[in-house]
């Protein structure tokens, strides 16, 4: 993971130390000796994370953090505040001004790298979502992506696995402002709970008498239903070997005892946000794919999808020696509908026409709006005779029931013409199959419209 990190500290030796550790992990490091410099760098450069000292002359770390979070250009940059161990109130203050996480001086290597990586992964996801949201906005489809927003800061759902009643109680209390916590003391039952309920985070307190908590973590990682569920482990101070094994197993973060409630809240929020971003990203990928291949007016597939998918269907029919037919249809005198009743009425007719196609063809058929008032249905495993029968059924469905225009309730008599082609020995490419259907359609139009013509 490569990223640019800004280290802010008024003591040059502290800057050098953090810089060396981060550079050793191949991060790109910028440095600043005071708050003003830090703000200027964030404003002008692409910064992925800020490590921020609190005690600095002039402007302290709290104010720097507050200003970063108040500026729309820098608000999305994660801020880790470096606090002194003997100043627990710093963390409360830090959370209030929008800090994303804390590190305690002297900074421990393992903590530094795991915190930084955890926040950078989160930022990668949120950046991706922001870019998509901007693209969607310029394309005018942002409403679809926005529907999943707003749930952002609902109470989280956390599963706490903790062998001791008194620590369960303390942790549930600490997390109360941000989450509903289900506490459980049996690790085996926890696996079942985690796979059956929509938790957003599992916290494992490594305090069992005779159970290895890493076993639970590894089982959660290996099960299909819990594979993406974030895990935070609570360990004994100084038990670095357990932390390293836990991180290797895919545990997302850790906290050492005694648990600082503010730290617990900050870490839990980061993990839950990350899960929510992940879920939204997955949903938006699905939506983006659907949008790219769908005609927005009719909900049928679009021409781009047809152009890509026809050759797949064609090759499959060749390989299996099965028939394949194409039906091309065009609404008769559609221009008159638009000219007489307006484009909204024209859109109503197109939507209704598409709906009649949809209810006539089978699920395996590929129905597309090919452009304007022209539609194509590709029918796998369909002989020319069956294709002609389907076309005739659709022709009748269009002709016999009038189309109702929405605002006026006026009834419109609509007809359509149909051309059919099928894959036979002489047709050798998908393009030729389409061309023949097009010629047949042209013939249907020339022959007086409202009819089905099969390619010779």
Binding site for Mg ion (CB under 5 A): 10, 53, 55
CA-wise closest residue to 370 among 432, 322, 414, 326: 326
SS3 of residue 177 by DSSP: coil
| Sequence-separated (6 or more) residues with CB below 8 Å from residue 399 | 413, 414, 415, 450
Q: How many helices (H) and strands (E) does the chain have?
A: 16, 17
Do strands 253-256 and 452-454 pair parallel, antiparallel, or not at all (unpaired)?
A: unpaired
Select 10 or 28, whichever has its Cβ closest to Mg ion: 10
Residue 280, C-beta contacts closer than 8 angstroms, at least 6 positions apart: 129, 148, 149
Between vectors from CA 392 to CA 387 and to CA 395, what angle results, nearest 5°?
125
Kindly tell me the burial class for residue 48, based on how many C-beta atoms sit within 10 Å of its own C-beta (0-12, 13-18, 19 or more): buried
Name the residue nearer to Mg ion (CB basis): 90 or 365: 90
Angstrom distance (rounded) from CA 14 to CA 8: 9
Select 58 or 447, whichever has its Cβ closest to Mg ion: 58
Contacts of 321 (CB under 8 A, 6+ apart): none
Look at the block and give the residue holding tokens 């099969």: 454
Tokens 């040059």 — which residue? 12
- Residue (19 or 53) nearer to Mg ion, CB: 53
Q: Which residues pair with 55 in a beta bridge?
A: none
| Minimum CB–partner distance for residue 11 and Mg ion (Å) | 6
Active site residue 373: yes
Beta-bridge partner residues of 205: 234
- Residue 95 pairs with which residues in a beta bridge? none
What are the distances in angstroms from CA 360 to CA 243, 353, 451? Answer: 61, 11, 17
Beta bridge partners of 326: 378, 421
Out of 373, 392, 411, 443, the active site residue is 373
For the bound state, the minimum distance from the C-beta of residue 53 to Mg ion, rounded and expressed in Å, comes to 4
Whether the bond into 292 is cis, omega within 30 of 0:
no
Give, as one character, the DSSP assignment of residue 224.
G
CB of 56 to Mg ion, least distance (A): 5
Please tell me the distance from the alpha carbon of residue 378 to that of residue 421, in angstroms, as a whole number: 10
Nearest approach, Cβ of residue 40 and Mg ion (Å):
19
Strand duo 231-235 + 253-256: pairing? parallel
**Closer of 11 and 297 to Mg ion (Cβ):** 11
How many C-beta neighbours within 10 Å does residue 294 have? 17
What's the closest the beta carbon of residue 51 comes to Mg ion, in angstroms?
Answer: 12
Q: Which is nearer to Mg ion, 14 or 302 (CB)?
A: 14
Instruction: Compute how many other C-beta atoms are within 10 angstroms of the C-beta atom of residue 408.
Output: 10
Beta strands 411-412 and 403-404, pairing class: antiparallel
Active-site residue numbers? 373
């Amino acid at each position: 993971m490569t990223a640019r990190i800004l280290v802010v500290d008024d003591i040059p030796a502290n800057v050098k130390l953090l810089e060396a550790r981060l550079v050793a992990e191949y991060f790109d490091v910028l440095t600043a000796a005071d708050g003003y410099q830090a703000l200027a760098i964030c404003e002008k450069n692409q910064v992925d994370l800020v490590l921020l000292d609190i005690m600095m002359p002039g402007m302290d770390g709290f104010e720097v953090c507050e200003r970063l979070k108040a500026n729309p250009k820098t608000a999305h940059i994660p801020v880790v505040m470096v606090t002194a161990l003997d100043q627990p109130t710093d963390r409360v203050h830090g959370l209030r001004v929008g800090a994303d996480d804390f590190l305690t001086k002297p900074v421990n290597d393992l903590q530094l790298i795991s915190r930084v990586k955890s926040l950078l992964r989160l930022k990668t996801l949120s950046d991706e979502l922001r870019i998509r949201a901007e693209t969607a906005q310029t394309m005018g489809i942002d409403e679809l992506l926005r529907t999943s927003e707003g749930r952002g800061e609902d109470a989280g759902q956390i599963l706490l696995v903790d062998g001791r009643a008194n620590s369960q109680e303390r942790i549930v209390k600490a997390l109360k402002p941000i989450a509903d916590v289900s506490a459980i003391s049996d690790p085996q039952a926890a696996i079942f709970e985690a796979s059956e309920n929509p938790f957003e985070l599992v916290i494992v307190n490594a305090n069992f008498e005779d159970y290895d908590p890493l076993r639970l973590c590894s089982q959660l990682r290996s099960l299909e239903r819990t594979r993406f569920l974030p895990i935070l482990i609570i360990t004994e101070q100084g038990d670095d070997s357990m932390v390293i094994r836990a991180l290797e197993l895919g545990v997302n973060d850790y906290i050492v005892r005694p648990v600082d409630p503010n730290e617990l809240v900050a870490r839990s929020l980061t993990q839950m946000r990350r899960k929510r971003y992940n879920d939204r990203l997955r949903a938006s990928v699905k939506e983006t794919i659907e949008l790219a291949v769908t005609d927005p007016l009719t909900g049928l597939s679009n021409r781009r999808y047809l152009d890509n998918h026809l050759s797949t269907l064609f090759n499959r029919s060749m390989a299996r020696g099965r028939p394949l037919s194409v039906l091309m249809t065009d609404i008769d005198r559609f221009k008159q509908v638009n000219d007489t009743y307006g484009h909204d009425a024209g859109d109503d007719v197109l939507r209704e026409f598409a709906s009649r196609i949809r209810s006539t063809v089978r699920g395996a058929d590929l129905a597309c709006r090919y452009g304007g008032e022209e539609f194509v249905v590709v029918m796998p495993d369909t002989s020319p005779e069956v294709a002609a029968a389907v076309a005739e059924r659709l022709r009748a469905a269009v002709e016999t029931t009038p189309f109702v225009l929405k605002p006026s309730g006026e009834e419109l008599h609509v007809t359509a013409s149909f051309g059919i082609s099928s894959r036979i020995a002489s047709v050798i490419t998908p393009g030729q199959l389409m061309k023949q259907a097009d010629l047949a359609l042209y013939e249907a139009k020339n022959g007086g419209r409202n009819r089905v013509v099969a390619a010779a």
